[in-house]
Amino acid sequence: MVEYDVIVAGAGVSGATAAAMAGKLGKKVLLIDRNSEMEPGKKTVWGWVCGDAVAKSHITYVQKNLGNTFSSEALGLAVDGVVALSPDLGYKLPFDGEGYSLERPLFGKALFDEAIKNGAEFKGKFSVEGPIIEDNKVRGVFGKNEKGEEEKIRGKVTIDALGIASLLRRKLPENPYIDKEIDYEDLELTGRFIYKTEDSFDDPKYYDKKNALIHLNQQMAPGGYGWVFPKTEGRVNVGLGVQHKSLELRNKKFGANDNLKSLIEKYVKWNPLFKNYKLDNTSRNGEGYWSVSVRRQMEGMVYPGYIGVGDSMASANPLSAGGIGPALIGGILAGRAASKAVESGDTSLEGLWDYNLDYVKQYGKSMAGMEVFRIFLQSMNNQDIDYGMKSFITYEEAVEITYGRIPELSLTKKVSKLVRGVGALRTFKDLVWTTQKMKELNAIYADYPRSPKEFPEFKKKVVSIINEAKSRMPSSPV
Ligand SMILES: Cc1cc2nc3c(=O)[nH]c(=O)nc-3n(C[C@H](O)[C@H](O)[C@H](O)COP(=O)(O)OP(=O)(O)OC[C@H]3O[C@@H](n4cnc5c(N)ncnc54)[C@H](O)[C@@H]3O)c2cc1C
């Protein structure tokens, strides 16, 4: 039976990137997906469900490491940044810097083509059902091929890039490194449409041709946000994410029966941009629903013979839910780590461990802190968010937070502004507590365990702070 050096399960953003990297490093790579080669990166029957926004720096990182270039068609519209608006639309804060509003099917195809160009073999229409485990080590994958026959494929290292519902992650043997399930409270249920709208519309509170807009509003999008991201040719990517628990609380309070679909419909009706619009269903990618995780990435992302990457490891940014950047960065690092392990002949936990350190250093170090900030945001109602955005955080401090750095809140100056009652005082105290915990978590991650031996102590500290945040600041959208 053939044994590959590296099996990459999942040909989405993270998998195609990992396969391209391992291929570039001369490894015998098999890239697997349930889609055919005509539709690489399609997440589900609903298409390439995504907001399509990615930071320019993440694209540059890939190009630097793979030596490729992306066509302007695949990159789509260049934007100045992502801007979050307060519920009353009176205040704006930056979320992220320059970036692109991608054409996701073309972008996925470009990464896929790069993997094939670098020598990866592709096996399409193959449904992965789980890992082959022998002697507590992953030795490949099993699943059903195009003809519906059960098939086993063996590899020295298996990279799990199957996305959020990964059957590889969920079928790993019990282990302390990787959680099998993602807590429901840490998921955003999301839906999005691509619409063609009137290009002449001009009101940057609702639509901005130069920026991706995020609308924070705990009644319209409980525990999440709505978004309107500009695209080329007068199209927009509009969508909404909610936390299930916040939606329940909000429905209960108002005696409402809204679900994700009805909330998106209301959001579109609310936005005056959508007076005349029609669905752009190119590549059958116009309407879709899926989930994104908003927790820190898995504390550990390797197991003997196994590396996890992208959404399978919950790597999306907990604050913005942006997962393309971490999937791209993770893909480069996973492809490299797998290749190194194959070369050294050490695919054990210890042999793969440096991938954790590399990922934490390159991207993951501030994500646990960001998760605490997300929990803080979900604990506030619209009035608290309006007041907090206006009074407690300056533009510069917001920039610091979205880059995972912790601003020194100029406390005395801020406290003097606290004139508006109990809610504001609670919010302020929680903000101070939150920034303190972000600092602690960043320090814990700066000292990420050098070997699996020190891992349990590290994980204990991280989980304890996250649990403390959840119990101190429960979801409370209304
Ligand atoms: C509505 C929505 C909006 C979003 N907006 C943004 C945004 O604006 N910016 C951003 O950065 N991120 C956004 N994200 C997150 C981003 O889309 C993901 O983080 C990113 O796609 C992760 O890439 P991935 O390759 O890890 O996983 P995926 O893109 O999910 O790819 C997984 C691949 O594995 C394949 N696969 C899955 N299971 C099997 C199986 N059993 N057998 C064979 N193949 C399988 C799938 O077909 C797919 O090709 C959004 C997510 C959603 C849901």
- Position 140 pLDDT exceeds 90: yes
Q: For the residues 43-67, what does the mean pLDDT come to?
A: 95
Please give the distance, rounded to the nearest whole angstrom, from the Cα atom of residue 168 to the centre of ligand 1.
15
Buried/exposed code over 85-95 (b: 16+ C-beta within 10 A; e: otherwise): bbbeeebbbbb
Task: Note the helical H segments in 81-207.
Answer: 104-117, 167-170
Please report the pLDDT score of residue 229 as a whole number.
96
Please report the pLDDT score of residue 182 as a whole number.
96
| Lowest mean pLDDT segment, chosen from 80-84, 240-244, 362-366, 388-392 | 388-392
Other Cβ atoms closer than 10 A to 116: 18
User: What whole-number distance in Å separates Cα of residue 153 and Cα of residue 32?
Assistant: 10
Residue 415 — very low, low, confident or very high, per pLDDT cuts 50/70/90? low
- Position 412 pLDDT exceeds 60: no
- Asked if 349 and 364 count as a contact pair (C-beta separation under 8 A), the reply is no
Please give the distance, rounded to the nearest whole angstrom, from the Cα atom of residue 135 to the centre of ligand 1.
31
Question: Domains, the chain, ranges and CATH?
Answer: 3-76+102-183+295-364 (3.50.50.60), 184-293 (3.30.9.10), 367-472 (no CATH)
| Lowest mean pLDDT segment, chosen from 82-96, 226-240, 313-327 | 82-96
Q: For the residues 117-130, what does the mean pLDDT come to?
A: 98
Q: For the residues 64-71, what does the mean pLDDT come to?
A: 98
Residue 410 — very low, low, confident or very high, per pLDDT cuts 50/70/90? low
Tracing tokens 């406290």 back to the chain, one arrives at 415
Q: For the residues 69-96, what does the mean pLDDT come to?
A: 93
Q: Which of 111, 123, 162, 333 to mutate to test the pocket of ligand 1 (most atoms within 8 A of CB)?
A: 162
Predicted TM-score (pTM) of the model is: 0.96
The whole-angstrom distance between residue 461's C-alpha and the CA centroid of its chain comes to 23
Q: Whose CA is nearest to atom 41 of ligand 1?
A: 128
Question: In the numeric block, which tokens belong to residue 146?
Answer: 């195009």
Task: Give the type of residue at 125.
Answer: K
Buried/exposed code over 254-289 (b: 16+ C-beta within 10 A; e: otherwise): eeeebebeebbebbbeebebbeebeebeebebbbbe
Please report the pLDDT score of residue 433 as a whole number.
92
- Position 151 pLDDT exceeds 80: yes
- Position 411 pLDDT exceeds 60: no
Q: Which of 311, 313, 332 to mutate to test the pocket of ligand 1 (most atoms within 8 A of CB)?
A: 311
From 25, 3, 24, 14, select the one nearest 116 (Cα to Cα).
24
Residue of higher predicted confidence among 186 and 392:
186
| Lowest mean pLDDT segment, chosen from 281-285, 296-300, 328-332 | 281-285
Residue 201 — very low, low, confident or very high, per pLDDT cuts 50/70/90? confident
Element (H, E) at 132: strand 127-134
Please report the pLDDT score of residue 422 as a whole number.
65
Does any ligand 1 atom lie closer than 6 A to the CB of residue 123?
Answer: no
Residue 357 — very low, low, confident or very high, per pLDDT cuts 50/70/90? very high
Q: Which of 43, 95, 328 to mutate to test the pocket of ligand 1 (most atoms within 8 A of CB)?
A: 43
Does any ligand 1 atom lie closer than 6 A to the CB of residue 39?
Answer: no
Q: How many helices (H) and strands (E) does the chain have?
A: 16, 19
| Lowest mean pLDDT segment, chosen from 214-228, 256-270, 378-392, 433-447 | 378-392
Q: Whose CA is nearest to atom 4 of ligand 1?
A: 50
Computed over every residue of the chain, the mean pLDDT equals 93
Q: For the residues 110-137, what does the mean pLDDT come to?
A: 98
Measured N-to-C along each axis, helices 421-446 and 455-472 cross at an angle, to the nearest 10 degrees, of: 170
Task: Note the helical H segments in 226-347.
Answer: 244-254, 260-270, 324-344
Task: Note the helical H segments in 151-243.
Answer: 167-170
| Lowest mean pLDDT segment, chosen from 133-147, 170-184, 263-277, 387-401 | 387-401
Q: Which of 99-113, 274-288, 395-409 has the highest mean pLDDT?
A: 99-113
- Position 360 pLDDT exceeds 90: yes
